[in-house]
A and B are shown apart, each in its own frame.
Chain A
Amino acid sequence: MAEKPQTSANFSSVPVILLLGLFSLPLLVMYAYLFIDTISDTEVGSLIPSEFTLRHWSFLWETKTGKPNIWLVTLNTFIFASCITGVILTVSSMAGYVLSRLNVPARGFFLAGVMVLHAFPSVTLIIAIFIVLQWIGLYNSLIGVILVKAAIDLPLGIWLMKGFYDTVPWEIEMAGTVDGASRFTVWRRLVLPQIKPAMMALGLFSFLTGWSEFILPQVLAPGAKVQVLSVYLASLIIDDNNFDFGTFKAVGVFYVVPVLILYVFFQKHLMNIYGGGTKG
């Protein structure tokens, strides 16, 4: 995690590093070529790039015919992922609290229900969802697909939050109520801050799954105006007329860069989700 690796005096780490390095080498080479191929041209059959070019990145400044503008697509993806994060954080932080602390009727049923929904393969619902969305007029809209994606991811979020709430001591809440705070204030001012690391982790987690979601936008919002990056990327392969492998790779790199940045900055928070969320 965040700690520095411990160096042990009677155990040399060099062989392990060598071995692991060797095993990861193919992966590393693949990533390297993914990037190199986007900024160069290579003769057919050769491994060494022959010339430098920015041709493959041209999608950034010129819109291809028949394709939406990349910046619009990026913005869509961003809105999509952010809204999902917002919805999931808001709903699961409240629902998790209720399930963990309040004596609601049919609490056991809700808990079991959340668990089952989490295990349920959502793809099987996609046709039904498609019909429902079309019927209420949210087909091919960002709102529709955001709602669907958030709903599908919510059970996990609620369950995780419930697990984190369970670890907050009751005494804090008791102290809060005898100090004169309403139950809502207690939740907002006293309990919520205790699970801030968990919120952080869940938020990141939701953003990343939203960013990489493909099936739902592909089926429910394929239109040019509401396209997200994953759908855009897929449309590049499907397009048989002017198939461009370099551009495909460049879009791929472009797609993955925000994820990498997030990982680099928030890796520590993301690990939290495995720290405390398993109880419950």
Chain B
Amino acid sequence: MRILLDKFSKSFGSTKVIEDMDLEVGSGEMLALLGPSGCGKSTTLFAVCGIHRPTAGRILFGDRDVTNLPSQERNVGVVFQSYALYPHMTVEENIGFPLMVKRVAAADIKKQVADIAALVHIEDLLGRRPAQLSGGQQQRVALARALIRRPDVLLLDEPLANLDAKLRLEMRSEIRRLQKETGITAILVTHDQVEAMSMCDRIAIMKSGEIVQIATPSQMYNDPRTSFVASFLGNPPISLLKGKAEQGAFVLGENGLRLPLAALSGIPDGTALSLGVRPEHFGTAGGVPVEGRVVFAETQGRENLYDVVLPDGSVLRSIQPVRDDVKPGDSVRWNLDSASTFVFAEDGQRL
């Protein structure tokens, strides 16, 4: 079911958290709300599930206006960051609770719980209490509880934040599998860009209560609208160089690097700019030679990560297939792929 936020605003007392947000999530789509801590992701999510009333604006599920509907009548499933399992109930009672409050017959509940438990692979744990489960198991229980009512909408608030790296990887594909299998519309809140990119159809990047850009993961990576988006996506992150425009070229410092760029035609000389270079676009391939000194090298197994200081003091990051001929302190002359760089104006807007 489609979710539409129309000019949604939320403030707590006098603090405005979200102002005039428009957001549409297509039916069956999984959308990531990605942003730094405190930008209003959870607030948005809680408004969608009805825990927070919007200060202004409308929320629609399909064509139905649910703005003033209490959570009980919205038919949403939520997985909270802390899972919020009911500690005094067994796993079975936890999962069955949404059906129990609907007064479904006990035998029916038992059957549906068994079905959904099989779906998330926790059949053996039904008799336990939440305190006797591992983090990943609790997460599955929370997911099962959110799904058992066959909700129109599934909301996930950083569901993987408490898991270890390996389990996180596992649950990532698990959640995606369930979402695809059930065809449910889902919103995933996260501040982990890898999670957002790997799990979701589209990503909405938020910054202090505003959506900066909505796009598919690859669009967003290859065509960021602002320097904030560019620096948020990608690991290791993009390097940003501060420079000036000069006759259609990006110039770094006094007679330093000079990059002619198509995007810069018509920009007055002397305009302050920043240049974004992803680590994979600085290395052995590429057209523009850049000299610098390696100050940091780190191996990540398959690849090596280098920090290179340019003569004017700015730093470029480079990621390359493993090689052991370069050590910190070495002077290098590597190439920059100027066609893949991004130029941003001083306010962060892409040019």
A positions within 8 Å CB-CB of B: 169, 171-172, 174-182, 185, 189-190, 193-194, 196
Distance, CA A169 to CA B87, complexed state (A): 11
- Pick the contact of A171 from B76, B84, B98, B102 — CB < 8 Å? B84
At the interface, yes or no: B88 with Cβ under 8 Å from chain A? yes
- A177, A179, A182, A196: most-surrounded residue (chain B CB, <10 A): A179
User: Which of the four size classes fits the interface of chain B?
Assistant: 20 to 34
Known: A174-B78, A174-B84. A180 touches B149 (CB 8 A): yes
Residues of B bordering A, CB below 8 Å: 46, 49-51, 70-72, 74, 76-78, 80, 82, 84-88, 97-98, 101-102, 145, 149
- The reply to whether B71 and A177 contact each other, CB–CB distance below 8 Å, is yes
Chain B proximity of A14: nearest CB distance (Å): 39
- Please state if A190 and B86 are interface contacts (CB–CB under 8 Å): yes
Across the interface, do B101 and A175 meet the contact criterion of CB distance under 8 Å?
Answer: no
User: Does the CB pair A193–B88 fall under 8 Å?
Assistant: yes
Q: Once bound together, how far apart are the Cα atoms of A66 and B195, in whole Å?
A: 84
A contact residues around B77 at 8 Å (CB): 178
Q: 23 A-B Cβ contacts within 8 A?
A: A169-B82, A171-B80, A171-B82, A174-B46, A174-B84, A175-B78, A175-B84, A176-B86, A176-B97, A177-B50, A177-B71, A178-B49, A178-B71, A178-B76, A178-B78, A179-B145, A179-B149, A182-B72, A185-B101, A189-B97, A193-B86, A193-B88, A196-B88
Q: What residues on A are CB-neighbors of B50 within 8 Å? A: 177-178
Q: Which residues of B contact A185 (CB under 8 A)?
A: 101
State whether B102 touches A180 (Cβ < 8 A). Answer: yes
Query: Closest CB-CB distance, A179 to chain B, in whole Å?
Result: 4
Per the bound structure, the CA–CA distance linking A177 and B70 in Å amounts to: 9
**Looking at the complex, which one of B85, B87, B98 makes contact with A180 (CB distance below 8 Å)?**
B98
Which of B50, B85, B88 has the most chain A CB atoms closer than 10 A to its own CB? B88
Across the interface, which residues of B come within 8 angstroms of A181, CB to CB? Answer: 72, 97, 101
Q: How far is the CA of A32 from the CA of B31 in the complex (A)?
A: 76
Chain B residues with CB under 8 A of A171: 80, 82, 84
B257 to chain A, nearest CB (A): 51
Beyond A178-B74, A193-B88, A196-B88, 8 extra complex contacts between A and B, CB < 8 Å: A178-B49, A178-B50, A178-B76, A178-B78, A180-B101, A180-B102, A182-B72, A189-B97
Is B51 a contact of A174 with CB atoms below 8 Å?
Answer: yes
Complex Cα distance, B91 from A106, in Å, reads 40
- CB neighbours (8 Å) of A178 from chain B are 49-51, 71-72, 74, 76-78
The list of the 10 closest CB pairs from A to B, nearest first, reads A171-B84, A175-B84, A179-B98, A193-B88, A181-B101, A177-B71, A178-B71, A178-B78, A171-B80, A180-B72
Chain A residues lying within 8 Å of B88, measured Cβ to Cβ, are 193-194, 196
Closest chain A residue, CB of each to CB of B46: A174
| Nearest B-chain residue to A168, judged by Cβ | B87
Give Cα distance in the complex from A177 to B80, angstroms: 13
CA distance A180 to B50 in the complex (A): 11
**Which residue on B lies nearest to A175, using beta carbons?**
B84
Known interface pairs A190-B86, A194-B87; A179-B97 also in contact (CB < 8 Å): yes
Residue from B70, B78, B84 whose CB has the most chain A CB atoms within 10 Å: B84
Q: Whole-angstrom distance between the alpha carbons of A143 and B139 in the complex?
A: 52
Complex Cα spacing A175 to B155, Å? 12
Known: A193-B88, A194-B87, A194-B88. A179 touches B82 (CB 8 A): no
Minimal Cβ-Cβ distance residue in A for B85: A175
Q: In the assembly, what is the distance between CA of A189 and CA of B87, in Å?
A: 12
Give chain A residues whose Cβ lies under 8 Å from the Cβ of B76: 178
Most buried by A among B49, B50, B98: B98
A residues less than 8 Å from B70 (CB atoms): 177
Q: How far is the CB of B255 from chain A (nearest CB, A)?
A: 59
State in angstroms the CA–CA spacing of A190 and B77 once bound together.
Answer: 18
**A residues in contact with B145, CB < 8 Å:** 175, 179
In the complex, the answer to whether B87 meets A179 with C-beta atoms within 8 Å is no
Interfacial chain A residues near B149, Cβ < 8 Å: 179-180
List chain A residues, Cβ under 8 A from B82.
169, 171
Q: How far is the CA of A36 from the CA of B206 in the complex (A)?
A: 79
Chain A residue nearest to B148 in the complex (CB): A179
Q: Give the most central of A169, A178, A180, A194: most B CB within 10 Å.
A: A178
Question: B78 to A172, Cβ gap below 8 A?
Answer: no
Partner of A177, one of B72, B86, B87: B72
Shortest Cβ distance from residue A196 to the other chain B in the assembled complex, whole angstroms: 8
The residue that B86 contacts in the complex, of A172, A180, A182, A196, with Cβ under 8 A, is: A172
Residues from chain A with a CB closer than 8 A to the CB of B84 are 169, 171-172, 174-175
In Å, the complex CA distance between A2 and B77 comes to: 41
A177 vs B145: C-alpha distance in the bound complex, in angstroms? 13
Question: How far does the alpha carbon of A171 sit from the alpha carbon of B46 in the complex, in Å?
Answer: 11
Given the complex of chains A and B, what is the CA–CA distance between A206 and B149 in angstroms? Answer: 42
With A and B bound together, what is the CA distance between A262 and B338 in angstroms?
Answer: 82
Q: What A residues does B49 contact at CB under 8 A?
A: 178
Q: List, in ascending order, chain A residues with CB within 8 A of B85's CB.
A: 175
A193 to B50, CA, bound (A): 25
C-alpha spacing A165/B336, complex, angstroms: 60
CA distance A177 to B78 in the complex (A): 10
Measured CA separation A194–B88 after assembly (Å) = 7
Contacts of A174 in B (CB 8 A): 46, 51, 78, 80, 84
- Chain A nearest CB: distance from B100 CB in Å? 8
